[in-house]
A and B are shown apart, each in its own frame.
Chain A
Amino acid sequence: MTGKSDKVKGKMLKLIKNDFLASARVIPLFYLVEVVTLAAFYYGRYADKSKVLVLGVIFSFLVSLLLVFVSFFFVVYDYQKSLFGQQGYLSFTLPVNSRQLLGSKIITYGLWMLISFANFIIVLDLLGKYATSEYGEMIDSASGLLSMFANFPSKAQIITYAIYFILEFFALVLSFIIMIYFAIALSHIRQFQKLNIIWAVLIFIAEAIIYVACINLIEKYFGFYLVLGADKSFSLDFGDPTKPGTPLSLMPFTFMLIQNIVYFFLTAHIMHKRVNIS
């Protein structure tokens, strides 16, 4: 049993490694460009070269934003190309199952997406701090965001809230990627294959509508809260959060987790059973 699970893990790691190698040929180049623009920013700032400084600020911001879009582009491009294009003849005949193929893509491109978001926040923070120190105005930066915790009564509450916030953000990014992958996989079944790009977009829009509607309904009718007490205590509350303390609504997060699991298995099933590589 252990041998079999080690083999499965081994193949999965190989898939992730090769997906990273494939994406690492392009995405890091944009990070290199960002290093150059940030270097220009610092050079302009400390050598007092105002033109270089302005260009550094503008391009650092634009490149960090572009990186988010580039990562998103690769989420779609690599999945489409390596599984449903001619490269699918290679991917789908590897000695792995469709869940492993899908899981590898989600992990690889989920990480690139998260890195790009983190990078964007860091760059924004750097530029925000510079603008604040230079012009004396409070620009919203990551440090500024921390002021939202000012009213929290304890450090334990802040940590719990931060962990929850990060987990929810991870789940949201994963939801986004899995919903895209489901739409692309479904658009490649025989019935949708001819106009697959249009179908993929329509399916994704339908998924997004269902997602928003479900979240709204759930929040309205099924209250499920983690209530953070003034000290280190916390409790679960089903219903209106009337207890004293800070309520965190757990339902959207729980819904996202369940939805991600359902979409994952549905997508893997479609990839295995219904897709025909042409």
Chain B
Amino acid sequence: MSEIIQIKNLTKSYGTNRVLNNVSFGLEEGNIIGLLGPNGSGKTSLIKILTGLINDYKGEVLVDGNRPGAKSKSIVAYLPEKTYLANWMTADDAIKYIADFYDDFDLDKAMKMLDTFQLPHKQKAKTMSKGQQEKLQLILVMCRNAKIYILDEPMGGVDPAARDFILSSIIKNRPEGSTLMMSTHLIHDIEGVLDSIIMIGRGKLLMQDSVANIKASGRTVNELFKEVFAGDWQI
């Protein structure tokens, strides 16, 4: 399988604070990858670079052979940690907005998912609960037939019952052959669906391995995470 994301010697600093330090790795097409690391490890900066939100970095980043930009953005479906919907948008408006810009957006599927998620079509996003807003944003992302899905903490801030629902919606709606990268702290919840993991700590790549290899060593991803980030990492 070819590598759909290639990163070589990626370094990103904010002033004197280096958040990514000479990171290099590649991601194979079609896999579900967990991007794991404690708070402040550089996960969100890495995601922002991959999605074209941050462009001043050193090193080489290729997304399906292109530097992050208008072309790569057309094949990447991104779910940020934050709510990005405009105050004036209703659920219908948000769907139409996304459908306008992305040729791969499935409008009918989105309308059906709104009903499945029991979200009101005409209610403004700003008056929705946080959970409703997150579900709406998930619909906007998962109704695209994208090559790459990048989800930043997709289950952060929702209750355990909703987590299962969200995760199953992600897996069910992901097109076959697409690549899915998820950053999360809730490793236990997602490790059953992961093909491989990347662990980042203090801006450095600490580990990249397949879940099958980790399991073969007699550990779960959750146990491995605790092992890697124990002790000094918590200080």
- Chain A interface residues (CB < 8 Å from chain B): 11, 14, 17-18, 22, 25, 81-82, 86-90, 92-97, 190, 272-274, 276-277
Contacts and interface: CB of A to CB of B under 8 A. Distances in A.
A96 B52 contact: no
A70 to B, nearest CB: 16
A93 B83 contact: no
Contacts of B97: 18
B86 A22 contact: yes
Contacts of A274: 56
A19 to B, nearest CB: 11
A96 B70 contact: yes
Interface in B33-65: 48, 51-56
B55 to A, nearest CB: 5
Contacts of B100: 14, 17-18
Given A22-B86, A94-B101, A277-B53, 18 more contacts: A11-B101, A18-B97, A18-B100, A86-B83, A89-B80, A89-B82, A89-B84, A90-B84, A95-B101, A95-B102, A96-B101, A97-B69, A97-B70, A190-B14, A273-B55, A273-B56, A276-B48, A277-B48
A274 to B, nearest CB: 6
B101 A14 contact: yes
Interface in B50-105: 51-56, 69-71, 73-74, 76, 78, 80, 82-86, 88, 97, 100-102
B192 interface: no
Contacts of B84: 86-90
A14 B70 CA distance: 15
B15 interface: yes
Contacts, number: 61
B15 A190 contact: yes
B53 A92 contact: yes
22 contacts: A11-B101, A18-B97, A22-B86, A87-B85, A88-B53, A89-B53, A89-B78, A89-B80, A89-B82, A89-B84, A90-B84, A90-B85, A90-B86, A93-B51, A93-B52, A93-B53, A95-B70, A272-B55, A276-B14, A276-B48, A277-B48, A277-B53
Given A95-B73, A190-B15, A82 B86 contact: yes
Contacts of B52: 92-93
A277 B54 CA distance: 8
Nearest to B93: A21
A93 B86 contact: no
Q: Is the interface of B mostly helix, strand, loop or mixed?
A: loop
Interface residues of B, number: 27
A100 B82 CA distance: 24
Q: Which of A11, A94, A190 has the most CB of B within 10 A?
A: A94
A25 B55 contact: no
Nearest to B80: A89
Nearest to A8: B70
Nearest to A82: B86
A93 B70 contact: no
Contacts of B102: 95
A209 B84 CA distance: 36
Q: Which of B53, B74, B84 has the most CB of A within 10 A?
A: B84
Q: Which 10 A-B pairs have the closest CB atoms?
A: A95-B74, A89-B84, A90-B84, A89-B80, A95-B73, A86-B82, A97-B70, A273-B56, A95-B70, A14-B100
A97 B55 CA distance: 12
A140 B213 CA distance: 84
Nearest to B56: A273
Contacts of B83: 86
Contacts of B74: 95
B32 to A, nearest CB: 21
A47 B53 CA distance: 61
Contact of A93 (B55, B73, B88): B73
Contacts of A87: 84-86
A89 B76 CA distance: 13
A86 B80 CA distance: 10
B138 to A, nearest CB: 14
Contacts of A81: 86
A14 B82 CA distance: 24
A66 B100 CA distance: 33
Contacts of B88: 22, 25
Contacts of B53: 88-89, 92-93, 276-277
